[in-house]
Amino acid sequence: MTAGTERTAGWRELLGAGNLGVVVLVCLGPWLHAADALLITTMMPAIVAEIGGERLVAWNFALYEVGSIVAGAAGGLVAMRAGLRLPMAAAAVIFALGCAVAVAAPAMPVLLAGRVAQGAGGGGLIALSYVAVGRLFPGPLMPRAMAALSLTWGASAFIGPLAGGLFVTWANWQAGFAFFGLQAAGLAVWIWFGLRSVPEPERVAGARLPWRRLGLLAVAILAVAFAGIVISAGWMAAALGLGLAALAFFARMDGRAGADRLWPRGALDPRGAAGAAILMVLALNVATMGVATYGPILLERIHATPPLVSGYLVAIVSIAWTASAVLVAGADERHDPRIIAIGIAVVAGSVALSIHAVPQGPLWLVGLAMLMEGAGYGMAWTFILRRGGRLVAAGDDERFAAALPTVGRLGYALGASFVGILANRAGFAEAAGPAEMQQVARAIFAGSLPVAVLGCLAMTRFVTARR
């Protein structure tokens, strides 16, 4: 059977032959990261009431992303140098220590330190989980393994906030962090012993962690995070400009590096497979942040939508992502370009539909836009990883696997700042009634549409690329 017609294994093959334990182990990392990221949203009022720090609330999310993106960027290189077992166990330990710091935090600055550690551990676990899928489940098993990761993300979207609410109601917020910290500690032990007998390819030696580039990336993400937090449009634009400049400098330095590259060769060149895939994911994630950032408040102020209903409308994205990923997981490799193209086009279509649906309604049309976004991502994501891993330069497949989720989270950080600028320029802070808020909604999604189109252009290059 040729590479172009390689079949995809079924669920029975993935979960049989001793694979079940490894599948669960690989999925637990993304579960911890995603659920913990959402856990704090429902716990934050109780946290502030006990330890204060109202002005620093937004940094709980921003610093978590900083740790996640920086650690994720290093994940591929670390796996190439040290294998999977030690780095994954270390990432789980770092996550657990971050939770322990949060449990003991007497004030908000200490909690923020714990959030950085949680983000770093979780980001490392995610990047290494994607590397593990390519390394432990190659060929026919990969799409099913990726679908299992999507199921994990979908579950996290519901259980994370629910868990936070339950702990605050029946115990306290410290118990929420302790709950996830104990899971991470258990995962570290499981990884250390569970992956002991798993064969790994020859490790790449001679490359040190590029601390200077990682520091530059951290500065870039901090600037972008600050842009997403400040209210002033001028400061927001300045911080975003600084972040983009630092990010471009990081990417240029990394592109000129040798064995210690963090990203695959050609990451900045959209004419090649790696660059096209990275630009595609980055652009689409920026373009779809309008709903995640402003969706609930826009629906409340325009349509008087109850918070619970708004929350479930936004959650449709996760549900549709999971369902779509599971439905297409059995597709043969020869269909990868078509499935990716359809999925990305559907995501872009959701942004276009939101220009009308969010300000005008009805709510079922908003739900359709959310369904399109999630379903499109679910269709495309698995096969982006599979196709990209086969098209990138020799030896860069694991760098690509680790870079993909990291670039995705970078897109979310950039997108939050970008739509914030769009909202502020449209008069979000001054909008007094539904009519003014409708104009804000149109500005957000109309401004995001060109970025989605850029993602589609990158997609056409990616699906037609040849090695």
How does pLDDT run across 251-294, given as a tens digit for each residue? 888 877 777 777 888 777 888 888 899 899 999 999 998 887 77
What gap in Å lies between CA 320 and CA 367, rounded to an integer?
Answer: 11
Q: Does 463 lie in the same domain as 339?
A: yes
Q: Which sign does the torsion angle of CA 15, 19, 20, 24 carry? A: negative
Per-residue confidence (pLDDT) for residue 13, from 0 to 100? 66
> What confidence category does residue 8 fall into, taking pLDDT thresholds of 50, 70 and 90?
low
Length of the chain: 467
Q: Does 338 lie in the same domain as 219?
A: no
C-alpha distances (whole Å) from 95 to each of 275, 296, 350 are: 31, 30, 35
Q: How confident is the prediction for the chain on average, in pLDDT? A: 81
Q: Does 202 lie in the same domain as 230?
A: no
In the predicted structure, residue 2 carries a pLDDT above the cut 90: no
Higher-pLDDT residue of 331 and 3 is: 331
> What confidence category does residue 204 fall into, taking pLDDT thresholds of 50, 70 and 90?
low
Q: Does 188 lie in the same domain as 220?
A: no
Residue 171 belongs to domain spanning: 15-209
Which residue, 82, 84, 91, 81, is CA-closest to 22? Answer: 84
Number of domains in the chain: 3
Asked if 383 and 339 count as a contact pair (C-beta separation under 8 A), the reply is yes
The answer as to whether 323 is a domain residue is yes
Low-confidence winner among 116-120, 330-334, 345-349, 367-371 (lowest mean pLDDT): 330-334
pLDDT digits (tens, 9 = 90+) for 62-79: 788 888 888 887 877 788
Q: Does 110 lie in the same domain as 234?
A: no
Residue 438, sorted as left (phi over 0), alpha (psi -120 to 50) or beta, turns out to be alpha
Q: Does 425 lie in the same domain as 283?
A: yes
Alpha-helical (H) ranges within 105-231 are: 108-136, 142-170, 173-194, 211-229
Per-residue confidence (pLDDT) for residue 459, from 0 to 100? 94
Q: Does 423 lie in the same domain as 318?
A: yes
Low-confidence winner among 193-207, 223-237, 314-328, 449-463 (lowest mean pLDDT): 193-207
Per-residue confidence (pLDDT) for residue 206, from 0 to 100? 55
The answer as to whether 5 is a domain residue is no
Rg of the chain in Å (alpha carbons): 21
Q: Does 149 lie in the same domain as 30?
A: yes
The two three-digit tokens of residue 163, written as one number:
């868990």
* CATH classification at residue 99: 1.20.1250.20
Q: Does 58 lie in the same domain as 179?
A: yes
> What confidence category does residue 200 fall into, taking pLDDT thresholds of 50, 70 and 90?
low
Asked if 66 and 119 count as a contact pair (C-beta separation under 8 A), the reply is yes
The answer as to whether 321 is a domain residue is yes
pLDDT digits (tens, 9 = 90+) for 145-184: 777 777 777 777 667 666 766 777 777 888 889 988 999 9
Per-residue confidence (pLDDT) for residue 281, from 0 to 100? 92
> What confidence category does residue 3 fall into, taking pLDDT thresholds of 50, 70 and 90?
very low
In the predicted structure, residue 366 carries a pLDDT above the cut 50: yes
3-state secondary structure of 335: helix
24-47 mean pLDDT? 78
Q: Does 193 lie in the same domain as 229?
A: no
Q: What one-character DSSP code corresponds to residue 334?
A: G
CA–centroid distance for 20 within its chain? 25
The answer as to whether 250 is a domain residue is yes
